[in-house]
Structure formats: C-alpha cells, structure tokens
Structure 1
Amino acid sequence: MRSFLFRLIIILTSLFPLTWTRRFARSIAALFWRFSKKHRHITNTNIALCYPQMDSEQQQILAKETVLENTTSLFELGHIWRRHGTDINPLIQRIHNEEILHQALAQGQGVLLAAPHLGNWEVLGLYLSALERFSLLYKPPKDASIEHLIHHYRGQSGANQITADSSGVKKILVALKQQHLIGILPDQQPKSGQGVFADFFGVPAYTMSLFSRIAAKTRTPVIMAAAIRTHKPAGFEIHFRQVSDDIYEDTETSVAALNKAIQDMVAIAPSQYQWTYKRFSIQEGDNPYQVKSKAAG
C-alpha cells in the first residue's frame, strides 16, 4: 500500500506546475499538522530543544512551517523526477559560492560533499550528477518497491548509488580515487556504536563518525551543499559552503566541526530542515521524545 501511494504521488504531482504542487502540499500539510500527533510532537520537541531562545508562539510558527516544507519536499518529487530528471537546470534560480565546488574539484582528489536534510536534496543530487562524476551514499528504505523507484529516478542523470553498508565504504574509497564527487547525508542518526556525541544546536546529538573517518583517511576536500526552495519564482537556489579544517582532526573534533557546519547551513532556511526526524533519540539520559504518562490519582 505504501509503495502504491508513493508511486501515485509521483505520477500525480508530475502533471502540474511546481506552484500548483506546492499549493496542494500546503493543504495536505495543514491536515498533517492537525491529525498527526506523533510528527507534531517530534517537531515541537526538536524546535524546543534547538531554539530555546524563541518563545512558545515563535516555536509553534517554526514547527508548522517545518511540516509544510517537509511535506512540500515529498510532493515536489514527481515534478523533479519525471519532468526534470535529466535536466534540473530550469529549476535552479541561483547558485551561491559555486567557485567553492570548482576549486575543490580542481585539486584532483575527488570531493566529499555533506548534504544535510535541508531543502530538497533530490534537486541537489540531480544537479550534481549532471555536473560531474557523482556518487551518493544512501540508506535503502525497508520497502524494496520504493527503493526500486528511488534508485531509478536518482540514477537518471548517471549518479552512481552506493548503499550505506560495509561494502559501501570500500566503494566510496574507490570512487574518491577515481576523483568522484561523493554526496553523503551526514545528519542521519547512526546505529549505536557507529557514531559519537557532538553538540548540535546546543544539544548532544549522536552523529555518524563515518564521514569524519573518510575525510581524515583521504584528506579529500570537504564542502557543504543544499538546494533551498524559492517561491518567487518557484524553484531552488543551490548553496555551497566550506568546512573548517577541523574536519581532518580526531574523530570528536571532526564530528563537532561537521555538526557546526550543518548548523550554519540550517540557518539559511530553518523551516526547510527535517525537524520531523528524531535526531536526538539516542541519549545518555532520557529520550526527549518519550511521552511521559500522567501520574494516576
């Protein structure tokens, strides 16, 4: 059923202009916010943890906008994949700091590109795969039918897709030797034993160490990137930013630098970050997402 709905969303949303798709997403997001207690709770928890300087009204506004933007990312897929899968450039309104990418590529060592769950990373992936030899590391969804669809659409522009497992690490190292641009989503919470805790918006976040270990081992240039949604006109702006040289230090220092770089990217468009994700569910103390039952009496 989930695979059928996913396929249906892709087909239907490819039939309309991007502005119409986004309006429809806004309507769905309003329903989602109202009736999805679970996701509302996760989003509110993340916003409260990461933006304590905001009052409750400001936090609610950001949380609602986050649900809207995250829903929009889903409903943009048909337009992006089916209409622009082999040429995403018509949707790109502007590219910020493009010279950072070209300077990194010019070093001839390949490039490690950190693309957090910000804006629409499918747009970024298609843009990069058409630009340069591009490989991306991904975590396969549980539904094999959905994985097949994603693999097909992401591969339209020639992206080399590498699964996030033990063999995937070896493939990344080989691709870097072939001077590939490697895209990794660095803010997915890893399994226990595959990361370290580092500050993220003032909160300890269990963060993958894989990215940092590859950077330290290869000394490959590292940059940040995101495709941020624009509305007038409807499209996207690509942002590139450099990462501190601390990324090449010991694992704890490197992961802290990575999270700081992600945090700086999120500041570009906070509502377009995936605050609907349980980023802090692994903690040394209490799970912040756990709903405490009311005391009897």
Structure 2
Amino acid sequence: MLIRLGVLVFWLIRFLPFRAIVAIGNGLGRLAYLLAAERRRVGMINLQLCFPDMTDSARESLLRRHFMMFMRGLAERSVLWWSSAGRINSLIRIEGIEHFEAMRGQPLILLTPHFVGMDAGGQWVAQQSDTVCMYARQKSGYLTRLLLDKRSRFGSQRLYARQEGLRPIIRGMRENLPFIYPPDQDQGIKDGAHIPFFGVPAATMTSVSRIAQMTGAKVVPSITRLLPGGEGYVLNFYPAWEDFPSGDDIADARRMNAFIEDRVREMPEQYFWLHKRFKTRPEGEAKFY
C-alpha cells in the first residue's frame, strides 16, 4: 500500500512545472541524507576509497550534493514515466548524435554507466529505436511490473531479467537492436574480474568485449547529465571505440573503467555512490562495508 501511495504522489507531481519538480527532488535529497544512515555510510566509504586525497569536509559536501542529485533524478521520473514524448524531448539536449546515428542498422552496445540521469537518456533512445536491455527484479512484484511498463512505454523495447542471461540479448543484437548496457556495478566475478576503479580492485564485468566479439557490435558510450535548476538534461554520445575488442578482456575492462573514471571526475556528484561498488573483495582481503 505504501509503494502504491508513493507511485500516486509521483504521478501527481508530473503536472507541476519542471523547476518545481527539481526543487522537490533537491528537498527530498536533503532529507534522505539525514535519514538514510546506511546509504550515507556506503556513499562515504566509496568516496574515501575513490578520492583519498579529498578532505573529509569536501567528501561530506560531495555526498550531500549527490543525495540531492539522486533524489532529483528519482522525482523527475514522474515526467519520464507519464508525460508526453514532446515534454520529455523538450528537456533533453543531444550532443554527439552523429555517433549514435552512424551506428543505426548494425549491432551496437550503448555503454551507459550509472549516472543519475541515465533513465532520461534511456527514454530518449527508446523513442528513436527499439532496444534490448537487462533489468533487476525488485522485491516488490508491483514495482517490478511498473518499472518494466514505464521503461517500455515507447516503441517495442525488449527487457530481460539478469537471471535470463545473455542469450536473448545476443538474439536481439543480431536483429540490429541496440543493447543498452550499464556494466559498472558489482555483480561478483563469475563473469568478470577484479579491475581497478579509481585504483581500488572492483568486481567488473568483462562481458562487454565478449559481446562485441560475438556480435560484431561497436561500443558507443552514452552519458546523461542533469543540468542546474530546471534546465533539463544533456545526453552525450561519444565516438565509437576503435580497436575494441582488443582480444584481451582484462585490458578492455581496464579501458572501460578508465573511461568511466574520467566521466565521474567531470561530474562526481552525479555518479551512483550509494551502491556497494567494492563489495566483492579479492580472496583474503577485508570487506569495506
């Protein structure tokens, strides 16, 4: 009942001006920073690991800004989930669209790391092309169904649970559907390895290069930035990676993590610091969380 009530509130706030929704998100972020002690602890540990030279006060300020950005992104999903395509598109400026357009009609991996604006970019892409992507099942069946419905509201998107593996993804890519892939969370090392992320070994998927090898896909990074106030978003497509895959999955994963690090340094408050990115430790190494 509480989840359904929250969804109703989200549905209602989409009628507000976008600047008002931004203000609501910022306010919720300030509140969440105070109340979400466990997520605050995880975020601080991540920042200590990734920015060891930063002062404690600077890390605290960064984490406060991140909570505001995170909750703002959450509040703005009211627009992404229920507003018209016209309203959504009016909020998104596209940069580097030629890198996306050049890959139409051929296998493509849209590398989409976990920045808080990723859902806005995903909704724009879904209006341009049917895609394939994975999703994580939520504890609430109602919430899982809602997420699937809203992420597939444009076009004919194919969403598969992580438990279904890569086979349906590969089938879709061989039909030249872009694969939206966020590979930068800790999923263990069954299909990955410990690769440095900001100098700290992090369980990292090595599947990007393997998928590219199997399908002949190009990799085009896609990053969405939240703009100040009510200005909306910038969705930036980067040039397709040359010499990828290289034949060395570990080297390719290092390249991927280094690219993500560079983007994090550009807007550190917008990266998803509340995830236990360093949960899976190398054998014999103490846990961080």
Per the normalisation by structure 1, the TM-score is 0.89
Task: Indicate how the Cα distance of structure 1 residues 228 and 194 shifts in structure 2: closer, same or farther if over 3 A, else same.
Answer: same
* Residues 36-75 of structure 1: CA deviation (Å, up to 9, x unaligned): 2111111111111111222222111111111111111111
Task: Indicate how the Cα distance of structure 1 residues 233 and 35 shifts in structure 2: closer, same or farther if over 3 A, else same.
Answer: closer
2:66–2:271 CA contact under 8 A, matched in 1: yes
CA distance in 2, matches of 1:86, 1:142: 33
CA distance in 1, matches of 2:100, 2:277: 28
Task: Indicate how the Cα distance of structure 1 residues 190 and 142 shifts in structure 2: closer, same or farther if over 3 A, else same.
Answer: same
Partner of 1:45: 45
CA distance in 1, matches of 2:242, 2:59: 30
- 1:260 is aligned to 2:248: no
- 1:161 is aligned to 2:146: no
Q: 2:224 aligns with which of 217, 224, 227?
A: 227
Which secondary structure does the structure 2 equivalent of 1:206 belong to?
Answer: strand
Partner of 2:102: 103
Deviating above 4 A after TM superposition, structure 1's stretches of 4 or more consecutive aligned residues are: none
CA distance in 2, matches of 1:85, 1:41: 38
Per the normalisation by structure 2, the TM-score is 0.91
Which secondary structure does the structure 2 equivalent of 1:163 belong to?
Answer: strand
CA distance in 2, matches of 1:188, 1:164: 15
Which secondary structure does the structure 2 equivalent of 1:262 belong to?
Answer: helix
- 1:148 is aligned to 2:145: yes
1:85–1:153 CA contact under 8 A, matched in 2: no
CA distance in 1, matches of 2:124, 2:16: 21
Q: 1:241 aligns with which of 238, 254, 266?
A: 238
The one-letter code matched in structure 1 to 2:287 is N
CA distance in 1, matches of 2:257, 2:243: 13
Q: CA deviation at 1:110?
A: 1.8
CA distance in 2, matches of 1:248, 1:119: 30
- Flag structure 1 segments of 5+ consecutive residues without an equivalent: 290-297
Partner of 2:167: 170
Task: Indicate how the Cα distance of structure 1 residues 31 and 233 shifts in structure 2: closer, same or farther if over 3 A, else same.
Answer: closer
How many equivalent residue pairs?
286
* Equivalences for residues 141-220 of structure 1 within 5 A: 141-165=138-162, 167-220=164-217
- 1:30 is aligned to 2:30: yes
CA distance in 1, matches of 2:52, 2:17: 38
Amino-acid identity (%):
25
Q: CA deviation at 1:192?
A: 4.5
CA distance in 2, matches of 1:141, 1:211: 24
- Flag structure 2 segments of 5+ consecutive residues without an equivalent: none
